[in-house]
Amino acid sequence: MDFSQLNSAEQAHMTKIIEKKQMQDFLRLYSGLVERCFSSCCNDFTSKALSSKEEQCVMNCADKFLKHSERVGQRFAELNAEAMGPKP
């Protein structure tokens, strides 16, 4: 985004809004990760600790979720770059 036409106070305000939105997006991603992996992997509540099977499941789930999110972000960036590229 180009904020060059805004004064410094407006630029600072816009930067603050963008940072807040990025934090909200991160927390939404993290919350989704926790919810999905907990629901999928944690089903034995007879102990405070995770079993080795549950722990491995959570690790695999988190790894898959993060790789998927990274790939979606990359693809979005690729599509955005194509859309912003020079038109013939």
R_g (Cα) of the chain, nearest Å: 20
Q: Average pLDDT for residues 60-68, to the nearest whole number?
A: 93
- Rounded CA-CA distance 61/37 in Å is 6
Reading the block at residue 30, the tokens are 């993290």
Answer whether 0.95 is exceeded by the pTM: no
**Scanning the structure block, which residue is given the tokens 């020079």?**
86
As given in the structure block, the two tokens for residue 74 are 């990359």
Q: Which residue has the higher pLDDT, 9 or 1?
A: 9
Backbone CA torsion sign across 62, 67, 29, 3: positive
Set out the domains of the chain in order of their start, with CATH numbers. 8-84 (1.10.287.810)
How confident is the model over 12-50, as pLDDT tens digits? 898 999 999 999 999 998 999 999 999 999 998 999 999
